[in-house]
Structure 1
């Protein structure tokens, strides 16, 4: 599959995944935000930011947010979605080949990993671990049902991303799996001085 051509075709239509209309997507955004163990992040990165609907929500909790996506059309829409936020920037990128510099204390991989071949997925997982700050969180969310364009399953993606990291949380239902990992254990109660 030519991933760039696939997404260029999809993004000829505005909001092709209906991120702005579907309750499923609104609920997934709410779950993502609720699962973040910290109230604020210094430097965040959202891989596969699409049209920026989640980016706008993340921007309110981040000092700086980088959004990357393969589709130029999606990034143009994302820039419109986040126009009110000076702390957000976007870059067109094909991962794992294109990689930002720096350390991130929040990395969000939403619905991206299953478009990668096994070697690319392995490389991306390794590079994500090296980009994650010692106090950071890698959060991944994927649709669990098979579909024709998927090169990897949600389970394979999450297994690759988890390697070498400590699980912070897992949420799973009939349609999606959302997991977070860090370099060391995460406890909201400990951060708040409750234990």
Structure 2
């Protein structure tokens, strides 16, 4: 079964990952937002936006936010979730094959990388680095446990994403890894003039 077919099957159910009502997902969103190193970003991109629950919260931190997903049903749900966010643009895309123009000072990869084979993860990582502004943050969050549809592990994905970038933060627990990278980014304390 292809990745597109897998998600077609998954999204026959509304909110198949239960982003709206699982504490695990609410906590993961809160951790993601807390790890953002700036209060505001000019141009953000969320890969794997699903039903737009995280997208709606990221929109409050970005002047403009592109949110992409492979699945049309997920994007329709994301459109309903973000209808009141005029700074959000939704697009259907398969990455790394389809890639947006421009560069972003925030790129958020939510649970996407392990649906790609290792070589495509490496290709995607290179494209992500090229799409990041000089002061940009690449943030990735992935489930740590193996599952049938995974073609790469979370750790393989994060190792590929880290190449050529400096780690800004890392949070890992028994279930997930949340990590951010950039190049020469000032810490939050430096930005606030505390050091």
Common fold by TM > 0.5:
yes
Specify every segment of 5 or more residues in structure 1 that has no aligned partner in the other structure, as ranges.
none
Residues 131-185 of structure 1, C-alpha deviations (whole Å, 9 max, x = no match): 0000100000000001111000010000000000000000000100000000224
| Cα offsets for 1:1-47 (capped at 9, x unmatched) | 40001101111111000000100000000000000010000000000
Unaligned runs of 5+ in 2: none
User: Deviation at 1:118?
Assistant: 1.1
Query: With structure 1 as the length reference, what TM-score do the two structures score?
Result: 0.99
Consecutive aligned runs of 4 or more in structure 1 exceeding 6 Å deviation: none
Q: Does the aligned pair in 2 maintain the 1:122–1:160 contact within 8 Å?
A: yes
Q: Is the 8 A contact 1:168 1:186 kept in 2?
A: no
User: Take 1:186 and 1:11, find their aligned partners in 2: how far apart are those partners?
Assistant: 40
TM-score by length of 2: 0.99
Aligned to 1:87: 87
Q: How large is the Cα RMSD of the aligned pairs?
A: 0.6
Q: Distance in 2 between matches of 1:118 and 1:176?
A: 19
Counterpart for residue 98 of structure 2: 98
The DSSP-based 3-state class of the residue aligned with 1:168 is strand
Q: Which residue of 1 aligns with 2:71?
A: 71
Q: SS at the partner of 1:127?
A: helix
Contact persistence 2:121–2:160 (CA under 8 A): yes
Q: Tell me if structure 2 keeps the 8 A contact 1:52–1:79.
A: yes
Asked if the contact 2:167–2:180 (Cα under 8 Å) also holds between the matched residues in 1, the reply is yes
